[in-house]
A and B are shown apart, each in its own frame.
Chain A
Amino acid sequence: MVKIIYVEADGTERAVDVAEGHSVMEGAVSNGVHGIVAECGGACSCATCHAYIDVSWLEKTGLAEGDEADMLEFAHEPKPTSRLICQIEVTSDLEGLRIEIPDEQA
Chain B
Amino acid sequence: MAFRLRQKGYRGSITMIGDEVWPPYQRPPLSKKYLTGELARDRLSLKPAETYEENGIELLLDRRVARVDRAARRVFFDGNDDNSLDYETLIFATGGRPRQPDDLGDTLPENIFTLRAISDADAMRERLAPGKHLLVVGGGYIGLELAAVARKRGLKVTLLEQAPRILGRVACSQTADYFRHLHTENGVTLREGVSIESFEGPEQRPSFVKLTEGDEVSFDVAVFGIGLLPNDTIAREAGLECAGGIIVDGWGRTSDPDIRAAGDCARLPYRGDMIRLESVHNAIAQAEHIADDIVCPGGPSYAPVPWFWSDQYDCKLQIAGLNLGYTKVVTRPGTKPGAFSNWYFKGEEMIACDAINDARSFMMAKRWLAVAHRPCPELICDPSWDLAKF
Q: How far is the CA of A44 from the CA of B203 in the complex (A)?
A: 43
Contacting pair A41 B363 (CB below 8 A): no
Write 20 A-B pairs (CB below 8 A) sorted by A numbering. A22-B43, A29-B47, A30-B47, A30-B48, A32-B51, A39-B284, A40-B28, A40-B309, A41-B28, A41-B29, A41-B280, A45-B316, A67-B316, A70-B359, A70-B363, A73-B360, A74-B364, A74-B388, A75-B363, A106-B363
- Chain B proximity mask over A47-91: 1 for CB below 8 Å, otherwise 0: 100000000000000000001001101110000000000000000
> Which of B358, B359, B362 has the largest count of A CB atoms less than 10 A from its CB?
B359
- What are the 10 closest A-B residue pairs judged by CB atoms, nearest first? A74-B363, A45-B309, A70-B359, A71-B359, A70-B360, A67-B359, A41-B26, A30-B48, A45-B318, A71-B363
Of chain B, the residue at the smallest CB distance from A37 is B284
Contacting pair A40 B363 (CB below 8 A): no
At the interface, yes or no: A46 with Cβ under 8 Å from chain B? yes
At the interface, yes or no: B161 with Cβ under 8 Å from chain A? no
At the interface, yes or no: B311 with Cβ under 8 Å from chain A? yes
Which residues from B are CB-within-8-Å of A37? 284
Q: How far is the CA of A31 from the CA of B307 in the complex (A)?
A: 26
Of chain A, the residue at the smallest CB distance from B46 is A29
Contacting pair B316 A44 (CB below 8 A): yes
- Min CB distance B272 to A, Å, is 26
What would 13 more interface pairs be, CB under 8 Å, given A41-B26, A46-B307? Answer: A30-B45, A30-B47, A39-B280, A40-B28, A40-B309, A41-B28, A43-B311, A45-B309, A45-B311, A67-B359, A73-B388, A74-B363, A74-B364
- Chain A proximity mask over B284-323: 1 for CB below 8 Å, otherwise 0: 1000000000000000000000010101000010100000
At the interface, yes or no: B367 with Cβ under 8 Å from chain A? yes
Known contacts A67-B359, A106-B363; decide if A40 and B280 are in contact (CB<8 Å): yes
Known contacts A40-B28, A74-B364; decide if A26 and B359 are in contact (CB<8 Å): no
Q: How far is the CA of A22 from the CA of B362 in the complex (A)?
A: 27
Q: How far is the CA of A74 from the CA of B309 in the complex (A)?
A: 17
Which residues from B are CB-within-8-Å of A106? 363, 366
> Main SS of the interface on chain A?
loop
Residue of A30, A31, A47 touching B363 (CB-CB under 8 A): A47
* A-to-B contact residues, CB < 8 Å: 22, 26, 29-32, 37, 39-41, 43-47, 67, 70-71, 73-75, 106
Q: How far is the CA of A81 from the CA of B2 in the complex (A)?
A: 33
- Chain A proximity mask over B34-48: 1 for CB below 8 Å, otherwise 0: 000000000101011
Of chain A, the residue at the smallest CB distance from B55 is A32
Which residues from A are CB-within-8-Å of B328? none
At the interface, yes or no: B281 with Cβ under 8 Å from chain A? yes
Residue of B32, B43, B318, B367 touching A26 (CB-CB under 8 A): B43
> Which of A22, A37, A46 has the largest count of B CB atoms less than 10 A from its CB?
A46
Which residues from B are CB-within-8-Å of A75? 363
Q: How far is the CA of A30 from the CA of B359 in the complex (A)?
A: 27
- Chain A proximity mask over B346-378: 1 for CB below 8 Å, otherwise 0: 000000000001111011101100000000000
Which residues from A are CB-within-8-Å of B316? 43-45, 67
Of chain A, the residue at the smallest CB distance from B317 is A45
Contacting pair B28 A43 (CB below 8 A): yes
Which residues from A are CB-within-8-Å of B54? 32
Q: How far is the CA of A74 from the CA of B45 in the complex (A)?
A: 29
- Min CB distance A19 to B, Å, is 9
Which residues from A are CB-within-8-Å of B307? 46
Which residues from A are CB-within-8-Å of B358? 70
Which residues from A are CB-within-8-Å of B311? 43, 45
Which residues from B are CB-within-8-Å of A70? 358-360, 363
- Min CB distance B286 to A, Å, is 13
- Min CB distance B119 to A, Å, is 19
Of chain A, the residue at the smallest CB distance from B365 is A74
Which residues from B are CB-within-8-Å of A31? 48
- Chain A proximity mask over B322-357: 1 for CB below 8 Å, otherwise 0: 000000000000000000000000000000000001
Q: How far is the CA of A37 from the CA of B3 in the complex (A)?
A: 12
Q: How far is the CA of A37 from the CA of B364 in the complex (A)?
A: 19
Which residues from A are CB-within-8-Å of B359? 45, 67, 70-71
Which residues from A are CB-within-8-Å of B318? 45
Of chain A, the residue at the smallest CB distance from B364 is A74
Contacting pair B309 A43 (CB below 8 A): yes
Q: How far is the CA of A29 from the CA of B43 in the complex (A)?
A: 11
Q: How far is the CA of A26 from the CA of B366 in the complex (A)?
A: 25
Taking CB atoms and an 8 Å cut-off, the chain B residues in 121-176 that contact chain A are none
